[in-house]
Chain A
Amino acid sequence: MLSRLHDRRRLQLLIGFGIGVLFGFLLQRGGATSYNVVVGQLLLRDFTVAKIILSAIATGMVGVYLLRHVGMVRLHPKACHLRRIGLGGLLFGVGFALLGYCPGTAAGAFGAGSLHALVGMLGILLGAGMFASMYPAVVRWLPGEGHGKVTIPELLDVNPWMVVVPVVAAIVAGLMLLETL
């Protein structure tokens, strides 16, 4: 772990910015900042977005688990609150289709000149602000449940590679199948 690098706060902000520039560049160049491409994916007419997400997951998974094996990274899984994720995820999906972008691609699309993406970003700010105001009520109605910050290998109590290898193989097979369509 590069702990000393992680403690340099100003440099970290610069690294975050740099990774963001590369991320935005890739999203734009891949077509993911295009409304037509994203909504085309949701209408199951254009599979560009699925190809980007699945190849990112497969690449990232192999590298991250290798890096963890040699002690260069640690994992940061998010909490598994099933009801919040289910409801929030579906609501997110509705917004995803109406706006045609997600928070990251909206930012990239705004950079590339999309004004409705900017309006969408204002909406995301409003929605996030509403959530912040309603947070105490949300905690009351949908208390945290499930298994906390858990990964699938931990849940199954197996060596992580027993999950990584089949998942990556399934993704590669799925993408090859997609290419024959």
Chain B
Amino acid sequence: MHPLFQETWSPYVVGVGIGMLVWLSLMLSDKAIGCSTAFVRTSGMSERLLRGKRVHEKPYYREFTPHIDWEWMLVLGVIVGGFASALLSGSLAVETVPRLWQAAFGSSVALRMAVALTGGICIGFGARLAGGCTSGHGISGALQLAAGSWIALCCFFIGGILTALVVIEWLGGA
């Protein structure tokens, strides 16, 4: 089967490809790949719809002005790329409650969505407090050998592993 249609690729092929994408983005755009500031800008743009131009006075939105920038287009591209990959490999499917979650907490859609929303809020706040996410700190930052990014990467996984063990294994018994 042509690799374009295979369901999964080796994690090493994918990792090397992502590493090369960081070369490209630094060369072509003088930017490191990161995903979380796009969410700040979108949040500012949504607030502007509700409250008008006053939003620009918030100090954080003065640093990250709410507009469509390079990183925003990157995240839009990630959605399209995820769609294209799933479509070509035949794995495009609506998912509301994933298998592992279902094994732990059953098939309630409301419970899964409530936890996903809570998790998202922690991610959004945590990423902005830390100054980046898994891609900005974890991949782009770590590969530039930024000191803070290696600390961030460790903290992401320490928090993640402890929470997953407590929630999925201990509370959920899966």
Binding site for B on A (CB under 8 A): 1-2, 5-6, 12-36, 39-40, 42-44, 48-49, 51-61, 63-64, 67, 72-82, 84-100, 102-117, 119-133, 135-136, 138-139, 142, 146-147, 149-153, 155, 160, 163-164, 167, 175
Contacts and interface: CB of A to CB of B under 8 A. Distances in A.
Contacts of A167: 145
A96 B21 contact: no
B23 A67 contact: yes
B120 to A, nearest CB: 2
A52 B162 CA distance: 21
Interface residues of B, number: 128
Nearest to A3: B30
A84 to B, nearest CB: 5
Contact of B81 (A21, A115, A150): A21
B60 A135 contact: yes
A112 B160 contact: no
Interface in B115-174: 115-165, 167-169
Contacts, number: 538
Contact of A95 (B46, B126, B139): B126
B111 to A, nearest CB: 11
Contacts of A86: 151, 155
B contacts with A: majority SS? helix
B11 A48 contact: yes
Pairs A-B, 3 closest by C-beta atoms: A123-B120, A93-B159, A20-B77
Contact of A25 (B23, B81, B101): B81
Contacts of A115: 94-96
Given A20-B74, A77-B147, A152-B150, 12 more contacts: A21-B81, A26-B17, A26-B21, A27-B78, A30-B11, A56-B15, A59-B20, A67-B26, A73-B27, A78-B141, A100-B98, A116-B95
Interface string B36-50: 101110111011000
A28 B14 CA distance: 9
Given A56-B22, A102-B123, A128-B39, A28 B85 contact: yes
Given A89-B159, A132-B43, A23 B21 contact: yes
B42 to A, nearest CB: 6
Contacts of A94: 119, 122, 126, 159-160, 163
12 contacts: A12-B29, A55-B15, A60-B143, A77-B141, A80-B151, A85-B152, A90-B158, A94-B159, A95-B119, A107-B75, A112-B82, A133-B60
